Structure 1
Amino acid sequence: MNKAPAYVLTVLLTALLSGLTMVLGAPAASAHGGPIKLEVTGDGADNVNVLVTYKKDNHPVTEIVEATLKATSADGRSFGPVPLRSAPEGQNLYHSAEPLPSGEWRVTVTATEPSKAKATVKVKAGVIAASPVSATAPATGQATAPATGQATAPGRDKAAAPASAMDDQGAMGTPLKIGIIVLAALVALAAWLALARRHRTGVRR
Structure 2
Amino acid sequence: MKRTLAYLLTALLAGLAPVLGAPAAAAHGGPIELEVTGDGADNVNVLVTYKKDGHPVTEVVEATLRATSADGRSFGPVPLRSAPEGQNLYHSAEPLPNGEWRVTVTATEPSKARATVKVRAGVVAAASPTAPAPTPAPTPAPGQTTGQTTASARTRAAAPATATDDRDPTGTPLRIGVIVLAALLALAAWIALARRHRGGARR
User: Do they fold alike, i.e. is TM over 0.5?
Assistant: yes
The TM-score normalised by the length of structure 2 is 0.57
Q: Distance in 2 between matches of 1:41 and 1:73?
A: 16
1:38 paired with 2:5, answer: no
User: What secondary structure is seen at the aligned counterpart in 1 of 2:94?
Assistant: coil
Which residue of structure 1 aligns with residue 25 of structure 2? 29
The structure with the largest helix share of the pair is 1
**Alpha-carbon shift at residue 129 of structure 1 (Å):** 4.4
1:65 paired with 2:64, answer: no
Moved more, 40-49 or 51-60: 51-60
Overall identity of the aligned pairs, in %: 83
1:80 paired with 2:76, answer: yes
**Alpha-carbon shift at residue 67 of structure 1 (Å):** 0.7
1:134 paired with 2:123, answer: no
Which residue of structure 2 aligns with residue 101 of structure 1? 97
**Which 4+ residue blocks in structure 1 deviate beyond 6 angstroms?**
none
**Alpha-carbon shift at residue 20 of structure 1 (Å):** 1.9
**Alpha-carbon shift at residue 27 of structure 1 (Å):** 1.9
1:165-198: CA deviations, max 9, x gaps? xxxxxxxxxxxxxxxxxxxxxxxxxxxxxxxxxx
Which residue of structure 2 aligns with residue 16 of structure 1? 12
1:28-52: CA deviations, max 9, x gaps? 2212333221110011111100011
**Alpha-carbon shift at residue 96 of structure 1 (Å):** 0.7
1:68-92: CA deviations, max 9, x gaps? 0001112222111111111121121
| Higher-Rg member (1/2) | 2
The TM-score normalised by the length of structure 1 is 0.56
Decide which of 3, 7, 19 is 1:7's aligned counterpart: 3
Question: What number of residue pairs does the alignment pair up?
Answer: 130
User: What secondary structure is seen at the aligned counterpart in 1 of 2:49?
Assistant: strand
User: What secondary structure is seen at the aligned counterpart in 1 of 2:17?
Assistant: helix
> RCO higher in 1 or 2 (8 Å CA, sep ≥ 6)?
1
> What is the identity, as a one-letter code, of the residue corresponding to 2:63?
A
